[in-house]
Amino acid sequence: MQRRLMIFSIMLVLLLSLVACAPGDATLAPTTAAAAQATAPANAEIILSTTTSTQDSGLLDDLIPLFEQQTGYHVKTIAVGTGAALQMGADGNADVLLVHAPAAEKDFMATGAGVDRRLVMHNDFVIVGPADDPAGIKGIPLAADAFKKLAEKQAVWVSRADDSGTNKMELTLWKAAGVDSKSLPGLIETGQGMAATLKIASEKAGYTLTDRATYLAQQANLQLDILVEKDPALLNVYHVISVNPDKFPKVNAAGAKAFSDFMVSPDTQKRIAEFGVAKYGQPLFFADADKTDADLGLQ
């Protein structure tokens, strides 16, 4: 019996030695690090230029780590107003854009600076202000009428004034109200993002226009209520756009496509639709990759 055990032990040692010395074994069983390196993209850095609302709402903090984990890309996020984001694309200084100003996006595409513009999601804009609402706009159905009354009451109005998608919508509404916003006696121009602008509006007991997602994400630190909402004119639509590599050869086209594909994939769309529900009792964004602009009423 002892002899059989000795023979078995010797054979096992010989077998393990053969496996350890077999040619090509490192290729057949690479380490985890080597495997990760083998599948990493050749150009792993992507520059994402995006509106501040996707950052301030916390959405990108939820999505980008997942994208990086799945693809091996590393995303450098630059959160600015949509106007500045589009300009970065127009200058070839970004690889992919996530923005929310459809008319300006179409102008951008017309120049040939962008390719593959895809619908991602929407939420809406709301007008917020002090709970006591000194201008008396609460519940007015049309945002343009609320703007007109704010002008008549000479209310404190806090504007981002930064050529962002929100600022573009604000100027559209002032125009619809027949008001030159520069003439408002209570105008405060921040030149800052949405979260900072909301904070200033709260401190000054003023009114402002904001996307709903950023407002909900910042609400606990604000003395502002939603006063006007659900006007169809307040629709806020987001698209992802890859910057054209034919026009800008240094653009990371593969990375931009990977990010764009990720944003409209079924799993990501489900995650977008669920984002905010647990914390705020409502979604901060509505997933739209299965729709068209026409479905949302955009021309």
pLDDT tens string 46-74: 999 999 889 999 999 999 999 999 999 99
CATH number of the domain at 39-123+236-294, out of 3.40.50.1820, 1.20.1440.230, 3.40.50.300, 3.40.190.10? 3.40.190.10
Q: What is the pLDDT of residue 201?
A: 98
What would the two tokens of residue 96 be? 């992919």
Task: Give the homologous superfamily in CATH for domain 124-234.
Answer: Periplasmic binding protein-like II (3.40.190.10)
Q: What is the pLDDT of residue 3?
A: 39
What would the two tokens of residue 185 be? 């006696």
Q: Examine domains 39-123+236-294 and 124-234 and report if their fold is the same.
A: yes
Q: What are the domain boundaries of the chain?
A: 39-123+236-294, 124-234
Comparison of pLDDT for 292 and 20, the residue scoring more: 292
Helix residue ranges per DSSP H, the chain: 2-21, 25-28, 32-39, 52-56, 59-71, 82-90, 102-110, 143-152, 165-176, 194-203, 212-218, 253-264, 266-274, 277-280
Q: What is the mean pLDDT of the chain?
A: 88
Q: What is the mean pLDDT of residues 135-158?
A: 97
Cβ atoms of 43 and 53 within 8 Å: the answer is no
What percentage of the chain exceeds 90 in pLDDT? 81
Please say if the pLDDT value at position 194 is more than 60: yes
What would the two tokens of residue 284 be? 């901060």
**Phi/psi at 78 (nearest 5 deg)?**
-120, 105
Which is nearest to 159 in space by CA: 206, 123, 94? 206
